[in-house]
Amino acid sequence: VKMLPTFVRSIPDGSEKGDFIALDLGGSNFRILRVKVSHEKKQTVQMESQIYDTPEDIMHGSGTRLFDHVAECLGDFMEKQKIKDKKLPVGFTFSFPCSQTKLDEGVLLTWTKRFKASGVEGMDVVKLLNKAIKKRGDYEADIMAVVNDTVGTMMTCGFDDQRCEVGVIIGTGTNACYMEEMRHIDLVEGDEGRMCINTEWGSFGDDGSLEDIRTEFDREIDRGSLNPGKQLFEKMVSGMYMGELVRLILVKMAKEGLLFEGRITPELLTKGTFETKHISAIEKNKEGLTKAKDILARLGVEPSHEDCIAVQHVCTIVSFRSANLIAATLGGILGRLRDNKGV
């Protein structure tokens, strides 16, 4: 795994205050927040946010178009907040592997998940965003930091509880960060203190280390992805892929006569028709089998009660495997923290 230094050196101590903008790009949505932190009588945090759609043609188009879109959304948000005349500090959560030499610089190593915009890999995303903002000319923004979403998660939790030393994302994709001792970080000078490390554990297995546990369905998912051979662990556990894993298993079972009396519909054969949210619905104890029947009916299948039980079992297996793999990798990080503390 990449184990990327983030140049975040500490958890919030609760004394922070001010008026900030936060950008969050990388998952299913692009989100912009205004966060006001004050300490008048007691610490208060006020947040206002808006979610903006990022169409697939922008995700797969040019980098210029993508960052123009981000700058346009930010301009719209500032207009609605009536703060276009202010130059507020901006934090940019960018949920992709970046090489950093300082807090306000992030060179994209590779796109993951649904993104594949051209001309961005190998470039500093802060510079690209600043260029797009400057080109507009209707507002100014001071981008203070670019962080991974795991780092943002850890810092947010750390704001309430300074004992928080790990951030984990299990959503569209998956990743984790943790606080490491500086003496163990070869890529950064100095031995004193600590720094947050972005593990990029989604790419665990890209070197072949997971081949013993990858299945034919995992390999099919990978072959049909935007980034074959990359993010193999992520493709086994995260929300973007779990529904499709279940669909591929159901198709094979139907072809072998183990489900739906061997009937296979065009809908069942269509990529993306079985969504990850369907797994959660079908796994529920009471209404799960009813949900299974409804979801399968929408795929053109008329399932028997036994079919619904089997589909529920497949969903449980896929989600249970995901949970176990996440638990194993998280256990590795917790073991590292324990060793660092000499416990």
Residue among 72, 80, 86 nearest 18 (CA): 86
How far apart, in Å, are the Cα atoms of 259 and each of 31, 248, 251, 308? 41, 13, 9, 9
Residue with structure tokens 């051209």?
Answer: 118
Q: Tell me the residue type at 340.
A: N
How long a stretch of residues is the chain? 343
Q: Which residues are catalytic?
A: 113, 149
Write out the E strands in the chain.
4-5, 18-25, 30-39, 43-52, 89-94, 98-99, 107-108, 142-147, 166-170, 174-181, 194-198
Q: Which helix (H) or strand (E) holds 54?
A: none
C-alpha gyration radius of the chain:
22
Question: How far apart are the C-alpha atoms of 189 and 182, rounded to whole Å?
Answer: 8
Handedness of CA 215, 246, 203, 328 (dihedral sign): negative
How far apart, in Å, are the Cα atoms of 291 and each of 129, 294, 295, 304, 309? 44, 5, 6, 13, 11
How far apart, in Å, are the Cα atoms of 155 and each of 177, 217, 238, 254? 11, 36, 22, 47
Q: Is 281 helix (H, G, I), strand (E, B) or coil?
A: helix
Q: Which helix (H) or strand (E) holds 318?
A: helix 305-341
Question: How far apart are the C-alpha atoms of 7 and 102, rounded to whole Å?
Answer: 6
